[in-house]
Chain A
């Protein structure tokens, strides 16, 4: 089982047309009426297991790089400590600022560090830009599965692994060095986990849009840097959004990036109404995923016009 999984990953990278009986055929020659076509339509009904499999593969693919993950967790923790001191100094000057006490501010800082890996706050974490440039995207698009859902499934697997590997260590270190707050009741934990999952989905939906833009812009560095600024500043990753002055704060709290870090953190700290926060995240997830679905349709046409 394990070997088959590793083989599948290797094959996906090296040989797209490799036969794998557990996945729907990606052969574009499978026209209507052929046996291949019937096989596809049959297997289409079984897409849920396919995506579950992709989540697992996404998890395992990243679990391969153990030392890189340890290094990432270490770096996230160091930055967590440095940023915690800044927030401690600020809360010593202004106790109770933004409705947090010092411990909650420190907790905020370490949760944001834990979000970096799972929500890929510093980069796209998707291979779509490279695949668009190399033309491999044409193969992704002829698959009888949605490119968006396929990527989402893999990304959820990746996020799940990084949540454990790069999310938990900074939190534990923060708890050991400074002491951090934790939810009092199981309901609050559940709300946090739901909010975190929603945050990962919103983050994916945004990164997917950024990645698709390469189809029109060719170079993804410009839009990538643009996304980096928006994400780090408006997600609450650098500072809690409630510290932003005046209209800037109101705007930041309404934008989709607030659904990534600020919303799950507030759910963890019990500082936000659960249902409203989850609804806010759900709305942005729906809007961005819908835009991504439209974008997928658009690039399908574009690729066809270009001749693949």
Chain B
């Protein structure tokens, strides 16, 4: 399965490399476009020293951890977003008869290697924030765990978004609110959001486990919303539950699929 993914991804990479100048330009521009989010954070902290009790370095730490996970998924999974186009064009039929899982084919569909620029940008911000933060070295083990957890959660979200598009073929942009919206939401300390929203993204859609809950442990801070300490370590469980749900929804979506007949 993994080898099939990488073979497909390599095919799309070669296709993109056919235009080397455009390829180089896209890599650089991807980095700059992603950089606007950091620019916003830096401009905010040019006007204040703390946002809802969190410093600039702490906010950049949250941004970095969430965005490394988000951009990895944006690179490797987000292509699933294009499913409504395939359904409308009737090209999804061809994927069903190929001997590779539809999920793998969709995730690798028009794979864009230039998105690695965004991952690097997020990793750079994360690296800077860790060096600026004077963290307890006994807690650093959580960082790779939370990035993996976050990546699984985002991948599950994109899978759910793809599954929903089998039904909402004409209104596929709705799913952006949940995929890209989640990416936006996790860039900032949850302390800025309303209590109901935070409750919703902790117990409903488990976005709090992408970075907020584990980051409270790494940063050694209390939750302003007063959740108990064991919640900091529930991330992998939440990610697993969401991934199972997403897998189920994806199968349901495939079964729901009716060809356009073209």
Shortest distance in angstroms between B104's beta carbon and chain A's nearest beta carbon? 26
Complex CA gap A189/B70 in Å reads 41
| B29 contacts A222, C-beta separation under 8 Å | yes
Tell whether A88 pairs with B192 under 8 Å between CB atoms, given A79-B184, A222-B26. Answer: yes
Tell whether A68 pairs with B170 under 8 Å between CB atoms, given A75-B176, A75-B181, A228-B33. Answer: yes
| A68 contacts B173, C-beta separation under 8 Å | yes
Shortest distance in angstroms between A68's beta carbon and chain B's nearest beta carbon? 6
Shortest distance in angstroms between A226's beta carbon and chain B's nearest beta carbon? 7
Question: CB of A245 within 8 A of chain B?
Answer: yes
Which residues in A have their C-beta under 8 angstroms from that of B171?
67-68, 70-71
**Closest Cβ neighbor of A77 among chain B residues:** B177
Tell whether A233 pairs with B173 under 8 Å between CB atoms, given A219-B19, A239-B44. Answer: no
Total A-B residue contacts, Cβ distance less than 8 Å: 99
Tell whether A86 pairs with B174 under 8 Å between CB atoms, given A93-B51, A232-B36. Answer: no
Q: How many interface residues does chain B have, given as a range?
A: 35 or more
Which residues in B have their C-beta under 8 angstroms from that of A93?
48, 50-52
Of residues 39 to 57 in B, which have CB atoms within 8 Å of A's CB atoms? 39-40, 43-44, 46-48, 50-52
Shortest distance in angstroms between B52's beta carbon and chain A's nearest beta carbon? 5
Tell whether A226 pairs with B29 under 8 Å between CB atoms, given A68-B171, A79-B177, A79-B184. Answer: yes
Question: CB of B172 within 8 A of chain A?
Answer: yes
Question: CB of B247 within 8 A of chain A?
Answer: no
**Closest Cβ neighbor of B50 among chain A residues:** A93
Of residues 59 to 102 in A, which have CB atoms within 8 Å of B's CB atoms? 65, 67-68, 70-72, 74-75, 78-79, 81-83, 85-86, 88-90, 92-94, 97
Which residues in B have their C-beta under 8 angstroms from that of A229?
29, 32-33, 36
Question: CB of B22 within 8 A of chain A?
Answer: yes
Complex CA gap A228/B34 in Å reads 11
Question: CB of B97 within 8 A of chain A?
Answer: no
| B51 contacts A85, C-beta separation under 8 Å | no
Interface residue ranges, A against B (CB under 8 Å): 65, 67-68, 70-72, 74-75, 78-79, 81-83, 85-86, 88-90, 92-94, 97, 219, 221-222, 225-226, 228-229, 232-233, 238-239, 243-245
The list of the 10 closest CB pairs from A to B, nearest first, reads A89-B192, A71-B171, A71-B173, A225-B29, A78-B177, A67-B170, A93-B48, A67-B171, A222-B25, A71-B174
